[in-house]
Amino acid sequence: MSSFDPTLVPRNGAALMVLIIARISTVHQDLRSLADQIALCERYVRDRYPGPVHFDPIQSQGSGELLDRVELAQAEAAVESGRFDLVVVEDLGRVCRRNRAIDFCELCEDACTRLVAINDTLDTADENWRLSAFFASFKHESGNKDTSKRIRRTLRNRFEQGGVVQTFPYGYIKAPGAKSDADVCKDPDAEPIYEKWFALLEAGASYAEVADWLNAQKVPTGGWARGDKWDGRMVARVTHNPILTGYRRRNERMSQRVNKTGRRRSVKAPADQRLMRHAPNLQFIDPARYDRLIATLAARHDACARGRRAGTPDTRAGVPKKRTVWPGQHIVCGVCGRLFYWGGHGQTDHMMCAGARDYACWNGATFDGDKAGRQVAAAVLAAVESLPEFDDTFRAKVEAAAGARRAGRDEALRRLDREVGQAERELVNVLDAVAQARFSVALQVRLAETEARAVRLRAERADLDRQPDDVPVLPPVGELKERARAEVGRMAFCDPAFGRLMTALVPRLEIFPYRPLDGGAVVVRARAVINFAPLAAPVAGMALGGLITRVVTLDLFDPPQRVAFRERVVALRDAGLTERAAADELGLTVTAAQRAMGLHRLMRAVGATDPYVLLTAPPSDDGKLCRHRHPRYEFRPLEGYPVHPTDVV
């Protein structure tokens, strides 16, 4: 029987605490391999240590390249806790790959925890362990790369020979056990469908119109489609697939590793990596006709695409789709509750409700997003400038809010203390059960869940403990104004930090459709809730909460003449001028003055002070706001909508 050199001594003076890390890469691997790895590590330790040993295995299923795995974070937290004397793995790649594996070894060294990788003959007790870890990490990375190259080489060759037949769009029948494209045939029923499909596109129909026709004809989406109904995106995807002309393609895209997380993203493959194979038995459309249509579609959609025109770069290349310029992805439709996105009715600088875009909302009105953002920012500045100094009454409110927060904090701390104690007792019980039952998947899952809950509760308690329990000193209002002028006044809409600040200052920004009392175009108004607390110091801001708020209404449109000049026309008429004289005085036509007076009389008849009225349903006589008339339309508001503007507080 061999022994550890140097000899291991349990730091708790009783049992040797050993952490075992086991991992398999994919769902295609046998789960029993995890138990095999754990058994190997346990046997390795027991053959070298005669005393009592307590094993804690961490099992995972995922690529070793992924550096944001939960199990890796759990392993690092377990090592940092100082509970373990030894970490044992089959090889260093079971922990993770690349330089992060060496970092894990150094983490063990910092925690005075020994690490042994059996197959890599790595032991951090050896003064030369870094060289061994480097070669082990290099070996695992090189092995992965070589395996990837062999797989790509095999798949390229088999594709060129007609193999690698996996999924196909609608219209193709793949026989069971098919090994090549010769075993795939066309569905005869799809011939007239594709003929009509391309005829519609050639006649100027949109992808969405083709999808409507396919759904009306009850055409199936195909055996490999996720959805059972056609939509515009699916039609576009199939239309641009050259398999319809009898050419199979492969390697249009490739995966690229993001080194920070180890995850991969899809990017366009280089031209020399793309493959094309002629399979005439799969042709539905004549290639010349197909090329003409694709060129026509590209020209038709050229103005709506970024970076597609020659010599024009994609200004959003490499930017995550979830990151947008404020107020994008912040303004909410007051009719259906969905966000407004950039791009409305072919105008990239305008914003449109996502529900209207998907025919789930009738509010199809758009507005200039950049202009709206500047109006909101100007409204924030104006509201800040109008803030009065904090009086004794307001300070009393802040003190009361701080007292309520202090009481809630104390109660939350007592609750968390109880829950932390309960979690720790449960953790001890589970550890005892694991020690008695040896390896058990159910117990390991329970242990991981209990540890995660205990960590979460401790972190929540620490956050509460860091919060001050005294009444903060409110900053002078002049200081708030200076911060607003410096941060909001710079109007740096492309700066993500500016967008985060505006999102905090304007936590609620909703758009509602309005229309003049006498009819006309539908316009939109914004109701913004402004919260000034983020301008205060962090401590004071926590105390202020929502105590300093304003609700403002903004017109995101230029009013027509009859609305803009109504009050002045009425004043001149009350002064004794005729409509013609009033029009000459204001530089208007007589017709404009007459319409202004007509609107005023209508407002007086209904007792209104606002020339606009809120729309609670789509107008029946508007030629532009007609989404609700489309067969695809189905009003589906989000939960809690619709609401009335007076409910926005």
What is the 3-class SS of 575-609, one letter each residue?
CCCCHHHHHHHHCCCHHHHHHHHHHHHHHHHHCCC
Query: For residue 275, what are the β-bridge partners?
Result: 250
- The reported pLDDT for the residue numbered 68 is 87
- The reported pLDDT for the residue numbered 649 is 33
d(CA 94, CA 87): 12
Rounded alpha-carbon distances, angstroms, from residue 625 to 56, 188, 208: 64, 42, 19
- The reported pLDDT for the residue numbered 539 is 42
Q: Do β-strands 253-257 and 264-268 pair in parallel, antiparallel, or remain unpaired? A: antiparallel
Rounded alpha-carbon distances, angstroms, from residue 166 to 102, 157, 180: 39, 15, 10
CA-based nearest residue to 594, from 624, 609, 573: 573
Beta strands in 63-166 (DSSP E): 86-89, 114-117, 122-123
Contact indicator for 426, 449 with CB cutoff of 8 Å: no
- Helices 477-487 and 369-385 cross at an angle (nearest 10°) of 160
Name the token pair of 34. Answer: 């995890």
- Does domain 16-146 fall under CATH 2.60.120.430? My reply is no
Beta strands in 284-368 (DSSP E): 332-333, 340-344, 347-353, 367-368
Q: What pTM was computed for the model? A: 0.56
Whether cis (ω within 30° of 0) applies to the bond prior to 327 is yes
DSSP state at residue 52: -
DSSP state at residue 643: -
Assign residue 268 a region (left: φ > 0; alpha: ψ between -120 and 50; beta: otherwise). beta
Helix (H) or strand (E) holding 431: helix 392-437
Q: Which residue has the tokens 């002070």?
A: 609
Q: Where are the domains of the chain?
A: 16-146, 177-304, 392-466, 477-558+616-647
Map residue 143 onto helix, strand or coil. Answer: helix
d(CA 361, CA 620): 15
Contact indicator for 325, 499 with CB cutoff of 8 Å: yes
CATH number given to 177-304: 3.90.1750.20
CA-based nearest residue to 232, from 206, 258, 255, 254: 206
d(CA 399, CA 443): 49
- The reported pLDDT for the residue numbered 323 is 65
- The reported pLDDT for the residue numbered 134 is 92
Give helix then strand counts, H and E, for the chain: 19, 19
- Taking residue 196's Cβ as centre, other Cβ atoms within 10 Å add up to 15
- The reported pLDDT for the residue numbered 542 is 47
Contact indicator for 85, 114 with CB cutoff of 8 Å: yes
**C-alpha of 294 from chain center:** 32
- The reported pLDDT for the residue numbered 22 is 93
d(CA 647, CA 16): 64
- Taking residue 194's Cβ as centre, other Cβ atoms within 10 Å add up to 18
- Taking residue 546's Cβ as centre, other Cβ atoms within 10 Å add up to 12
Contact indicator for 23, 59 with CB cutoff of 8 Å: yes
d(CA 159, CA 275): 8
Interior/surface letters 216-237, b for 16+ CB within 10 angstroms, e for the rest: eeebebbeebeeeebbeebbbe
- The reported pLDDT for the residue numbered 49 is 92
Contact indicator for 645, 616 with CB cutoff of 8 Å: no
Per-10-residue mean pLDDT for the chain, 649 residues long?
A: 81 90 85 91 92 91 88 92 93 91 94 94 92 90 87 90 90 90 92 94 88 92 89 92 93 88 87 89 92 86 64 64 76 90 84 89 90 89 76 60 66 81 82 67 70 74 63 65 79 77 86 89 89 63 59 88 89 88 89 90 89 88 81 84 50
| Cα angle 257-261-265, degrees, rounded to a multiple of 5 | 35
CA-based nearest residue to 366, from 554, 560, 524: 524
Contact indicator for 164, 238 with CB cutoff of 8 Å: no
- The reported pLDDT for the residue numbered 348 is 83
Beta strands in 27-141 (DSSP E): 53-61, 86-89, 114-117, 122-123
d(CA 118, CA 42): 11
Amino acid identity of residue 251, one-letter, is: N
- The reported pLDDT for the residue numbered 394 is 58
Rounded alpha-carbon distances, angstroms, from residue 527 to 356, 376, 422: 20, 10, 47
